[in-house]
């Protein structure tokens, strides 16, 4: 061939063309076939020959969900029959021992696959639509898991019946709102327990009846008020006992107290009134101030002269008999006088003593409900390890010794949280571009192993392109509010960055519509991160993995002071920073593959800053890795400047700057 090229140097182009091989009737006039991977090779499909393995695309799993897919051998010729079209559609019927399967696959990766063990795999790289004209029955003999990474709406036109043979557990990180147009019946065979961290309010338009067969106790630490617009009846079958440490006041136009035996005692005070009529047996009173006293008999001494005694003071004449006076004896009943000493003793040490109140003075019960004191002002509710990891991204929380001590004591944080450097490291990649192989051949290239480098640079100022269909500005202009259902890209809504896997929140605390719009625009930048891995045209090395948002919008607690200067959580509260996690088909973190993804992002993604973040915060001291990506602040309408900086951190301590360092598992 080399000699031919040398000979044609001195001849015309037309004559040189005559030396070329002439096409035969078997050649494809369009030059498409044979494809590059079949040149100088067998024409039998490479899937059938076992040199290539193709499956329905499922792109990894979700955190904690194992798909349970077993590895299968490649096809062994001639056991597999494969039909592959020019555009890439594949139908495969494989009889390879231990690898028997049937697959129908669309060129995009969507399809259905019947695996060797009988497992059915359905995969769709875009939307899925299922319509049933009549009834539908579904029977699952085993367990089931259903995971929606976005929003879910369920509408039933008729009755909706749920029967649960075991426990029914609902965990909601946001609000629960129920609207019942008719009645609401709740029948509980056992006990009911409610814990409410905030307040509770009940409004009833009609009557309300509480029927308790056992005891009922209301324990109120502060003030209780009761307001009744009309009548109130308190009827007690036994004893009504009321005490107050300070004062009891009854005020009314008319008060009636009736008893067959009545005790009313006090060492000081006032009893009676201008029109009060008193009836009694005996009165022990040192002094009576009265206008008139009427009594049948008087015993004792008198000072002064009354009107009747003036005539009695004159000597009577001589007569036959003396003057007589009536003498009626009344009962002189006595009880114990309620002196000050006696009353003080009765109020403290008797059956009618004041009940001294001491309700959760040390706040032990309250602190079990509200965890703000326990966590040093960081959280009002109990935290799991993923939520603790999110809190520790803020330097102020990382320096909160009370918070760290509480988490370690709870068993939700490794005691090695303060470890400054990892035990073992592996690969490292500098700021220089890494040569990579292309994933999709262009044209009829016969060198698929060719390496190339991207031309990414720092401080890239550009206008971010926004699809008008998903532009949140356009949605607001149409009168649509920004909610968790607001779509930012195909298959990506606001819920993806708000109701996250690791530390979910809601948008209910953001009342400003402009702030919600600003957040939606910032998250538009982050859609490119998800699409770089989860899209159907993503690099082949990440085909069996899924990139999920583990931390998105951050909502600080009332007592939490976020670091503005170097606080990732502050940037997350602004919608600029999002924490990602790479998940494999078993629902587990792909620790080693995350380093490869960081290298890929370094050379192929624009951002402000990327952190390859390792830690040993898990209670079992296992290694965790996340990608923390910060996007630049958008200058209206959509102008951004990408700095493309990156670093590696371990336990929130910077290990390298503008260098990616792999941390290895040691357990």
pLDDT tens-place string over residues 455-507: 667 788 899 999 999 999 999 999 999 999 999 999 999 999 999 988 999 99
Closest among 380, 378, 428 to 399, alpha carbons compared = 378
* Complete domains list, the chain, with CATH: 31-127 (3.10.450), 425-435+449-663 (no CATH)
* Distance between CA atoms of residues 546 and 60, nearest Å: 5
pLDDT band at 6 (very low <50, low <70, confident <90, very high): very low
Quote the pLDDT of residue 3: 46
For 644-666, the pLDDT digits (tens) are 999 999 999 999 999 999 999 98
Closest among 37, 36, 32, 50 to 92, alpha carbons compared = 50
Closest among 644, 648, 645 to 627, alpha carbons compared = 648
pLDDT band at 536 (very low <50, low <70, confident <90, very high): confident
Whether the bond into 78 is cis, omega within 30 of 0? yes
Q: Which residues are CB-contacts of 571 (< 8 A; sequence separation ≥ 6)?
A: 577, 630
Quote the pLDDT of residue 593: 97
Quote the pLDDT of residue 24: 65
- Tokens at residue 46, please? 């490479």
pLDDT at 20 over 60: no
Which of 51-60, 325-334, 567-576 ranks highest by mean pLDDT?
Answer: 567-576
Residues present in the chain in total: 667
Phi first, then psi, for residue 460 (nearest 5°) are -90, 115
Quote the pLDDT of residue 5: 44
For 160-199, the pLDDT digits (tens) are 999 999 999 999 988 899 999 999 999 999 999 999 988 9
For 292-349, the pLDDT digits (tens) are 888 788 777 777 666 555 555 555 555 555 556 666 777 777 888 888 888 888 888 8
- Tokens at residue 236, please? 């007690």
> What's the DSSP call for residue 478?
T
Provide the strand spans (E) within 56-151: 80-84, 90-94, 101-105, 111-114, 120-123
> What's the average model confidence in pLDDT over 588-607?
95
Judged by DSSP in three states, 594 sits in helix
Which of 38-47, 98-107, 247-256, 333-342 ranks highest by mean pLDDT?
Answer: 98-107
Cα Rg of the chain, angstroms: 44
> What's the average model confidence in pLDDT over 259-269?
87
Percent pLDDT > 70 in the chain is 88
Compute the C-alpha angle 22/446/106, nearest 5°: 100
């Amino acid at each position: 061939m080399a000699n031919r090229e040398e000979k044609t140097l001195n001849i015309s182009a037309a004559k040189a063309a005559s030396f070329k091989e002439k096409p035969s009737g078997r050649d494809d006039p369009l030059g498409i076939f044979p494809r590059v991977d079949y040149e100088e090779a067998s024409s039998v499909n490479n899937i059938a020959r076992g040199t290539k393995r193709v499956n329905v695309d499922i792109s990894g799993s979700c955190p904690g969900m194992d798909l349970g897919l077993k590895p299968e051998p490649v096809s062994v010729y001639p056991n597999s029959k494969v039909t592959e079209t020019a555009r890439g559609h594949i139908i495969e019927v494989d009889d390879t021992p231990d690898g028997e399967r049937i697959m129908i696959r669309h060129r995009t990766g969507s399809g259905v696959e019947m695996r060797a063990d009988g497992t059915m795999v359905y995969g769709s790289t875009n939307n899925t639509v299922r319509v049933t004209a009549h009834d539908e029955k579904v029977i699952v003999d085993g367990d089931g898991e259903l995971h929606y990474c976005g929003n879910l709406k369920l509408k039933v036109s008729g009755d909706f019946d749920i029967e649960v043979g075991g426990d029914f557990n609902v965990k909601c990180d946001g609000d629960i709102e129920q609207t019942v147009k008719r009645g609401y019946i709740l029948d509980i065979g056992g006990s009911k327990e409610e814990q409410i961290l905030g307040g509770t309010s009940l409004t009833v338009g009609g009557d309300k009846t509480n029927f308790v067969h056992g005891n009922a106790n209301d324990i109120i630490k502060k003030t209780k008020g009761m307001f009744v617009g009309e009548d109130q009846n308190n009827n007690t079958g036994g004893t009504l006992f009321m005490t107050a440490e300070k004062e009891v006041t009854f005020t009314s136009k008319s008060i009636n107290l009736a008893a067959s035996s009545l005790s009313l005692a006090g060492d000081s005070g006032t009893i009676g009134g201008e029109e009060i009529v008193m009836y009694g047996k005996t009165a022990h009173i040192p002094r009576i101030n009265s206008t008139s006293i009427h009594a049948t008999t008087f015993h004792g001494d008198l000072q002064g002269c009354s009107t009747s005694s003036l005539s009695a003071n004159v000597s009577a004449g001589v007569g036959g008999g003396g003057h007589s006076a009536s003498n009626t004896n009344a009962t002189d009943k006595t009880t114990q006088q309620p002196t000050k000493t006696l009353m003080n003793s009765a109020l403290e040490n008797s059956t009618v003593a004041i009940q001294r109140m001491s309700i959760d003075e040390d706040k032990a019960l309250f602190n079990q409900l509200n965890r703000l004191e326990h966590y040093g002002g960081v959280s009002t509710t109990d935290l799991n390890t993923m939520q603790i990891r999110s809190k520790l991204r803020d330097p102020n929380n990382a320096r909160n010794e009370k918070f760290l001590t509480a988490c370690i004591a709870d068993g939700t944080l490794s005691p090695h949280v303060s470890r400054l450097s990892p035990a073992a490291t592996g690969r490292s990649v500098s700021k220089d571009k890494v040569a990579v192989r292309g994933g999709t051949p262009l044209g009829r290239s016969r060198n698929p192993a060719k390496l190339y480098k991207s031309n990414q640079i720092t401080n890239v100022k550009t206008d971010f392109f926004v699809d008008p269909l998903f532009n949140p500005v356009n949605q607001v202009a149409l009168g649509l509010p920004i909610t968790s259902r607001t779509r930012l890209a195909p298959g990506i809504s606001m819920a993806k960055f708000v109701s996250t896997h690791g530390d979910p929140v809601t948008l209910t605390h953001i009342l400003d519509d402009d702030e919600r719009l600003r957040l939606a625009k910032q998250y538009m930048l982050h859609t490119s991160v998800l699409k770089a891995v989860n899209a159907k045209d993503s690099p082949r090395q990440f085909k069996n993995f899924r990139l999920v948002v583990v931390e998105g919008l951050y909502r600080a607690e009332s007592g939490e002071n976020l670091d503005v200067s170097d606080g990732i959580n502050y940037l997350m509260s602004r919608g600029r920073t999002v924490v990602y996690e790479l998940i494999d088909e078993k629902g587990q973190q792909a620790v080693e593959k995350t380093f490869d993804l960081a290298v890929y992002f370094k050379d192929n993604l624009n951002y402000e800053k990327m952190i390859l973040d390792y830690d040993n915060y898990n209670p079992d001291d296992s290694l965790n890795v996340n990608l923390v990506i910060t996007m630049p602040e958008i200058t209206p309408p959509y102008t951004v400047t990408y700095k493309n900086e990156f670093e590696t951190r371990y336990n929130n301590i910077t290990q390298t700057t503008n260098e990616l360092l792999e941390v290895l598992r040691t357990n």
